[in-house]
């Protein structure tokens, strides 16, 4: 129509030739978390809570770890039945490149994980889900170790 003007919607950008272009923010993929715990109840609870918080979640009892290296963060129980976290890390070298948050029910959280190299964080059981979610986000967005 003669004399009509187009008014851009919020978030639109003005193009070079006077045309309005819609601004499209980059798609951000969810943080991929591998949860390794031998207790199926804890695994499932963490899976539900973390998916609700918009994380992509893979659950493992520590036996099948195919594709573990593609995770952004690993939540690792310090005790996995008859296997320790230290043994698991030694047996699966691809885990060494992924930041690890150790989960433990012991009072001395850091002492429980002493001797494990490459630990990026610690969380105590029972979980404060807000603290756990923030710890995952902090670890996933911090610069990777060399």
Q: Is 46 helix (H, G, I), strand (E, B) or coil?
A: helix
Residue 37: inside a domain: yes
Domain around 109: 32-141
Residue 7 lies in a domain: no
pLDDT by residue, tens only, the chain of 146 residues? 555 555 555 545 555 555 555 555 565 789 999 999 989 999 999 999 999 999 999 998 887 776 677 889 999 888 887 777 777 777 777 777 889 898 887 655 555 555 566 688 888 888 889 999 999 999 998 876 54
Q: Provide the CATH number for the domain around residue 53.
A: 3.40.50.2300
pTM exceeding 0.75: no
Q: Classify residue 19: in a domain, yes or no.
A: no
- DSSP codes of every residue in 93-138: GGGGGS-EEEEE-SS-HHHHTTT-TTEEEEEESSP-HHHHHHHHHH
CA distance 33 to 50: 8
> Total domain count for the chain?
1
Cα-Cα-Cα-Cα dihedral sign, residues 122, 125, 130, 132: positive
- Inside any domain, residue 6: no
């Amino acid at each position: 129509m003669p004399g009509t003007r187009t008014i851009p919607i919020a978030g639109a950008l003005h193009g070079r030739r006077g045309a309005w272009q819609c601004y499209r923010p980059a798609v951000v993929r969810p943080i991929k978390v591998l949860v390794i715990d031998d207790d199926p109840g804890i695994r499932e609870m963490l899976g539900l809570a973390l998916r609700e918080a918009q994380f992509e979640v893979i659950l493992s009892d520590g036996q099948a770890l195919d594709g573990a290296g593609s995770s952004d963060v690993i939540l690792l129980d310090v005790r996995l039945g008859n296997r320790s976290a230290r043994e698991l890390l030694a047996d699966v070298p691809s885990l060494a490149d992924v930041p690890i948050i150790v989960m433990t029910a012991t009072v001395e959280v850091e002492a429980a994980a002493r001797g494990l190299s490459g630990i990026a964080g610690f969380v105590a059981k029972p979980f404060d889900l807000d603290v756990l979610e923030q710890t995952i986000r902090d670890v996933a967005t911090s610069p990777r170790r060399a």
